[in-house]
Structure formats: structure tokens, C-alpha cells
Amino acid sequence: MPNIGWQELLIVLFIVVIIFGAGKLPEIGRGLGQSIREFRQAAREAQEAQAQQAEQAQSNLPDKTA
């Protein structure tokens, strides 16, 4: 998969401005930023829950020192 260069990004930005208009760009950026924050928070919570479950499972194992 090729890397996206600055020329391609400029073309995409130009197309977005044409489609949505310059007035909508801050709103689109705000919505995108909020969705990224929510995704990161959900991923972090899932990792914490998984670690907590693993810790509980480890503590529930019988002691094998005999």
C-alpha cells in the first residue's frame, strides 16, 4: 500500500472543502476528534477490564505449593 504524500492530502482537502464548504470544516474536525477520543477511551476501558479479569482469574487459582 503506497504512502499518501502531501500532494494527495492537498487534493483530498480541496475535495472536502468543495463538498462540505469551508464553514463546515470546524464542525467536521470537532466531530472527528470527539469520535477518536471516545474510541481511545473505550479501548482503554476494554484493556483495563481484560487485565482485571486476568488478575481475578490468577487469584482464583488454587495454590500449588505443597
Q: Are 56 and 64 in contact (CB under 8 A)?
A: no
> What per-residue confidence (pLDDT) applies to 62?
74
* pTM for the whole structure: 0.59
Q: Where are the domains of the chain?
A: 20-51
> What per-residue confidence (pLDDT) applies to 28?
86
Express each pLDDT in 20-66 by its tens digit: 888 888 898 899 999 999 999 999 999 999 999 988 888 887 766 65
b/e code 33-64 from CB counts within 10 Å (16+ = b): eeeeeeeeeeeeeeeeeeeeeeeeeeeeeeee
Q: What is the spatial distance between Cα 18 and Cα 6, in angstroms, rounded to a whole number?
A: 18
> What per-residue confidence (pLDDT) applies to 51?
92
